[in-house]
Amino acid sequence: MTLRAYVLDDEPLAVKRLTKLLTETGRVDVVGSETDPERALAVLHAVDLLFLDIQMPGLTGFDVLERLQHQPLVVFTTAYDRYALNAFEVNSIDYLLKPIERERLTHALDKIERLRDPAGLKTARSDVRALAQQLAAELSPQRRLDRIASKVGERTTILDVARATHFFSKDKLTFAAVDGREHVVDLTLAELESRLDPRRFVRIHRATIVNLAFVQELFPGLDGGLIARLKDGLKTELSVARDRARELRERLGI
């Protein structure tokens, strides 16, 4: 019997893309999708397989699972860096890292097929709740940066992360660009990437993380990559590496 699949993600573009990819596989019957977790709760009792976004406003993916009486198989979808997802490697559940690729989706569906025997289903469904609790702690808002300190000598400036147009590394230092000024911060780009909200910030170069809200224009670069022009007072232009251009376009919905 074909599995009845449902897609729950608060980003309409993400729902559209994943629904299209699932339909093209011909391996599941996509019986519905939703961007509002509250509305989705009314119908999730009738699905076999749920593709579930982890971080949504109102109810998180973990909140949704806690409120379900019927426990479908779950494939989490997330924009978070893999640092918080190591637990999946040893559990009978899978995840898809955004932007979702066909090959990775095929792998997840293969894994689901192997779980369709009664014993596998029982294990997978019991794993979901335990893993959800673990990931809820890993991905809690407390881990996310809302403010960051810039210390120069005896002076400390508290920066609002949402106002940072981008972060970059130069001369072995990391800088936050806020209101046209550059502030030294005591975190590496790798540390920032793991703690910044992945819905708002994306790594576009080994030396640059950009705030998507400030990207105004994209145009071709000389090296085959892109140039991102920001809507700041300086009209800052940032290089986008070729291997990161596709993700940036998709995150911007273009």
Q: Express each pLDDT in 203-226 by its tens digit.
A: 999 999 999 999 999 999 877 779
Residues 193 and 133 in one domain: no
Domain final position from 94, 115, 142: 142
Domain count, the chain: 2
Which CATH number characterizes residue 213's domain? 2.40.50.1020
Beta bridge partner(s), residue 183: 176
Give the chain's residues under pLDDT 70.
80-93, 116-143
Which CATH number characterizes residue 70's domain? 3.40.50.2300
Residues 17 and 126 in one domain: yes
Burial state string for 38-64 with b = 16 or more CB within 10 A and e = fewer than 16 = eebbeebeebbbbbbbbbbeebbbbeb
Please tell me the predicted confidence (pLDDT) of residue 87. 44
- CB-CB contact of 14 with 77 (8 Å): yes
Residues 128 and 157 in one domain: no
Write out the residue range of the structural domain in which residue 42 sits: 3-142
- CB-CB contact of 10 with 56 (8 Å): yes
Residues 181 and 234 in one domain: yes
103 contacts: CB under 8 Å, gap ≥ 6: none
Which one, of 2, 34, 3, lies nearest residue 18 by Cα? 34
Distance CA 16, CA 141 (A): 27
Residues 167 and 244 in one domain: yes
How many angstroms separate the most distant Cα atoms in the chain?
67
The pTM of this model reads: 0.53
Q: Express each pLDDT in 90-128 by its tens digit.
A: 444 677 877 788 888 998 898 888 776 655 555 555 556
Domain final position from 86, 115, 142: 142
Residues 136 and 11 in one domain: yes
